[in-house]
Amino acid sequence: MEKTHKILNDPVYGFITIPYGTLFELIEHPFFQRLRSIKQVSLTHYVYPGALHTRFHHALGALHLMGDAIASLRGKGVAISAAEAEAVSIAILLHDIGHGPFSHTLEHTLIYAHHEELSLLFMERLNEEFQGRLSLAIEIFTGRYPKPFLHQLVSGQLDMDRMDYLNRDSYFTGVSEGVIGYDRIIKMLNVVDDQLVIEQKGIYSVERFLTSRRIMYWQVYLHKTVVSAERMLILVLQRARELAAMGQTPWAPPSLEYFLNHHITTEDFKKRRNELLDCFAALDDTDISAAVKAWQKHSDPLLSYLSYGLVNRRLFRLEFSNEPFPAAYLDNIRTALASHRDLPRGAESFLIVGEESNSAYTLNKDEIMVLTKSGSVVPMSKISDFGIAPRTFRKYFVCYPKEISGLLAPHF
């Protein structure tokens, strides 16, 4: 008897099945296999040592949840054809294929293009290779297909992307506050007028999901040590690019060297799609790690200082505040950086000032719609016992080498 599917053992969901055919062929493609070498949560393992899972893991997990969602919706009488089921599965499988090294960290630092734009370019390239078999998936991915709920399963407030990454990131970091009732939420999904809705009896599971997402952002993704490490990595690449602009390109693997020497934007990718996608597809975390490891001994003192600190976890100090930092305090930091004897000349460029924000629930995107017991559909924010108010939480931060910590007076 001929096998119809491949069985994989996922640490989060147990055994998951991948049907042979287009989906399995896409997983086997080098563009997708590259995701094995791109960490899902960048440098979060500097705080949570187990957080070494990859975009490859995540994509397969999201594909698995999409299968559960399709089965649940079909069980409620929602019409999803075999072609639509395969297409929406392809769309979720490839939704992150455009991520660069260390996921979001180096977006707009090494490559000046958003990963979703690159994911679409990869899908269009693959569609040519697969002789049009991804056409419907691309329509769904871009929101052009006349059944909006299929796009919402890929990209929306309750999409399978979020369902998997919260569950998976919680598992690998060990942060139990991020655990969500993904299985109940999926079973509570329904479709009304081709729009995705959640049945009213599932709103408490959605509340838990939204609360967990906010906690995971502040406790994991925006943990001050994680932010510090990621900002240091950005400084490393920025310094390497500065040296390249001066005609002193530091040694790097060929795939990385190309992007150090060229300012590549979304428009460049569109104009020279195949050439630049091939260059980009050759680039992953291992190239960055190899370069940073080598740059510890580079003759440029700024690059070597930053690289040594990143490799050996000598990370910058980061302070969060609910209010912007006073200009006088920032001036004190610059003065201390410029005069400290243990820091290289030009260290005042190590001062990083920025802000981070996170919303438990936002009205900016399409709201979560609730199918009430009476059969009407209303926005989640209008449900009387929905306990999460739409609000954005914002924190300001300043980041600098720890050597000067003892020289700074309190600023508030």
pLDDT at 397 over 90: yes
Distance CA 221, CA 42 (A): 9
Q: How many CB atoms lie within 10 A of CB 223?
A: 20
Stated pTM of the model:
0.95
Write out pLDDT tens, residues 316-334: 999 999 999 999 999 999 9
Q: In angstroms, how far is the first alpha carbon of the chain from the final one?
A: 73
Mean pLDDT estimate for the chain: 94
CB half-sphere exposure, 409, CA atoms < 13 A: 6
| Cα dist from 309 to 74, 295, 401, whole Å | 53, 11, 9
Largest distance between two CA atoms of the chain: 76
Architecture of domain 5-94+134-222: Orthogonal Bundle (1.10)
Which is more confidently placed, 1 or 19? Answer: 19
Are 290 and 311 in contact by the 8 Å Cβ rule? The answer is no
* Domain extent listing, the chain: 5-94+134-222, 316-373+392-412
Tell me what pLDDT residue 1 has: 60
pLDDT at 365 over 70: no
Write out pLDDT tens, residues 114-153: 999 999 999 999 999 999 999 999 999 999 999 999 999 9
